[in-house]
């Protein structure tokens, strides 16, 4: 099977859903229409075999993950994902693998009404790069650099399950139900596009938690030239963390990656209104701390003790 048959058989198979696609797969470039009141957001993430996933995982799951981590980046900008391109590098042609993989790509793109408009197919060590293009009203996308001293810091969900799943990959004594639940968190993150409209309206900065809360919040702090203090007890832990990790649970929630929840900041006078609207919309989020002038990250304990926390998270090099 050559490159062109792979594209035709597995990727150029879904009828175009969006009427803003002028043309998609088949030309040297795709063309889309961006309305004049919208700005275009572009994000790329690569998944490499044995780094981001194990080659023995189900190809369907690997494909979903490649889409979902990119959707999360667009969600972190408070934007709406619209179009995707896929650069796929395969060591060989395994048609069963390709069929599952393509199904995972098409299903997860369909879930967010994203059209696959192009890509590249090459031979080499297994990896995939998805580029996702999204839109937000002009001037309304949210960056990392807008946090101000006094802003409150929130996260959109419980943390640590995905990294707990990684740490238990080789463990044999984990009950089956826990393993299934944790692997689902690792393989099928839930990118928080549901927060986009609220973030556009209220947030001063946002980031998705891909490398761990402490590392990702530090990116907000550096970009905004501020620091942050978190209430240790307010950090929402996935309920399995304390069971498996006891007093190390908070540390994993602070340093573990792959959760793909959002961390964002709000001016304090908006907090009440924000939480009220979120609740009306059935969106849960947690207030975990405050931005301050002094650089660095600090943790406060219930007894009032405040300690410096060295941010740790995943880094490739
Ligand atoms: P070129 O030789 O001009 O780079 P290709 O032969 O690589 O073009 O690709 C042919 C068409 O198929 C292009 O429109 C490209 O965007 C698309 N394409 C290639 N690989 C993929 C893929 N894995 N998924 C989706 N579209 C793809
Ligand atoms: Mg090409």
Whether the CB of 121 sits within 6 Å of ligand 1? yes
Ligand nearest to the CA of 85: 1
- The predicted-structure confidence for 229-278, as pLDDT tens digits, reads as follows 999 999 999 999 999 999 999 999 999 999 999 999 999 999 999 999 99
- The predicted-structure confidence for 78-125, as pLDDT tens digits, reads as follows 999 999 999 999 999 999 999 999 999 999 999 999 999 999 999 999
Pocket test of ligand 1: the residue of 7, 8, 13, 131 to mutate, having most ligand atoms within 8 Å of its CB, is: 7
The pLDDT mean for the chain works out to 96
- The predicted-structure confidence for 27-47, as pLDDT tens digits, reads as follows 999 999 999 999 999 999 999
Q: Report the nearest atom of ligand 1 relative to the CA of 118.
A: 16
The reported pLDDT for the residue numbered 312 is 84
Whether the CB of 119 sits within 6 Å of ligand 1? yes
Whether the CB of 21 sits within 6 Å of ligand 1? no
Compute, in angstroms, the gap from residue 79 CA to the centroid of ligand 2.
28
What is the C-alpha R_g of the chain?
A: 20
**pLDDT class of 313 with cuts at 50, 70, 90:** confident
Compute, in angstroms, the gap from residue 23 CA to the centroid of ligand 1.
13
Closest C-alpha among 249, 286, 48, 268 to residue 154: 286
Whether the CB of 313 sits within 6 Å of ligand 1? no
Which residue minimizes the CA distance to atom 16 of ligand 1? Answer: 118
Angle among Cα 292, 296, 298 to the nearest 5 degrees reads 75
Q: Which helix (H) or strand (E) holds 98?
A: helix 95-111
Q: In what order do the strands lie in the sheet with 115-123?
A: 38-48, 127-137, 80-90, 115-123
Q: How many CB atoms lie within 10 A of CB 261?
A: 27
CA distance 67 to 108: 7
The interaxial angle of helices 176-187 and 59-76, nearest 10 deg, is 50
Chain CA centroid to CA 227, Å? 23
CA distance 270 to 64: 35
Compute, in angstroms, the gap from residue 83 CA to the centroid of ligand 2.
18
Closest C-alpha among 24, 114, 99, 34 to residue 68: 114
The dihedral formed by the CA atoms of 192, 194, 197 and 198, expressed in degrees to the nearest 10? -80
Compute, in angstroms, the gap from residue 261 CA to the centroid of ligand 1.
32
CA distance 268 to 206: 15
CA distance 92 to 295: 49
φ/ψ of 50, rounded to 5, equals 75, -5
DSSP SS3 for 174: coil
Compute, in angstroms, the gap from residue 237 CA to the centroid of ligand 1.
42
CA distance 258 to 145: 22
The yes-or-no verdict on residue 316 having pLDDT over 90 is no
Q: Report the nearest atom of ligand 1 relative to the CA of 26.
A: 14
**pLDDT class of 315 with cuts at 50, 70, 90:** confident
Print burial letters for 285-301: b (CB count within 10 Å at least 16), e (below 16): bebbbbbbeeeebbbbe
Closest C-alpha among 177, 160, 183 to residue 57: 183
Task: Tell me the mean pLDDT in the region 124-143.
Answer: 98
Euclidean distance between the first and final Cα of the chain, in Å? 36
φ/ψ of 125, rounded to 5, equals -60, 140
Whether the CB of 120 sits within 6 Å of ligand 1? yes
């Amino acid at each position: 099977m050559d490159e062109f048959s792979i594209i035709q058989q597995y990727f150029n198979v879904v009828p175009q859903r969006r009427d803003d696609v002028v043309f998609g797969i088949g030309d040297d470039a795709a063309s889309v229409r961006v309305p004049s009141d919208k700005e275009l957001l572009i994000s790329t993430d690569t998944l490499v075999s044995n780094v981001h996933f194990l080659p023995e995982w189900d190809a369907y799951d690997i494909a979903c993950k490649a889409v979902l981590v990119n959707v999360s980046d667009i969600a972190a900008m408070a934007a709406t994902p619209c179009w995707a391109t896929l650069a796929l590098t395969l060591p060989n042609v395994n048609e069963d693998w390709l069929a599952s993989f393509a199904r995972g790509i098409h299903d997860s793109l369909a879930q967010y009404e994203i059209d696959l408009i192009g890509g590249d197919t090459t031979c080499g060590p297994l990896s995939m790069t998805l580029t996702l293009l999204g839109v937000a009203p002009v001037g309304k996308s949210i960056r990392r650099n807008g946090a101000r001293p006094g802003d409150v810091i929130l996260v959109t969900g419980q943390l640590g399950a995905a990294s707990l799943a990684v740490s238990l990959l080789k463990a044999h004594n984990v009950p089956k139900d826990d393993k299934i639940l944790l692997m689902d968190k690792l393989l099928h993150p839930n990118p928080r596009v549901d927060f986009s409209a609220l973030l556009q309206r209220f947030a001063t900065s946002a980031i998705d938690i891909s490398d761990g809360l402490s590392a990702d919040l530090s990116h907000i702090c550096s970009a905004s030239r501020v620091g942050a203090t978190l209430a240790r007890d307010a950090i929402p832990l996935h309920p399995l963390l304390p069971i498996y990790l006891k007093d190390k649970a908070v540390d994993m929630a602070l340093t573990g990656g792959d959760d793909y929840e959002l961390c964002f900041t709000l001016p304090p006078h908006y907090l009440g209104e924000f939480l009220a609207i979120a609740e009306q919309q059935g969106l849960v989020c947690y207030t975990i701390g405050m931005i301050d002038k002094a650089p660095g990250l600090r943790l406060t304990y219930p007894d009032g003790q405040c300690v410096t926390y060295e941010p740790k998270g995943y880094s490739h090099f």
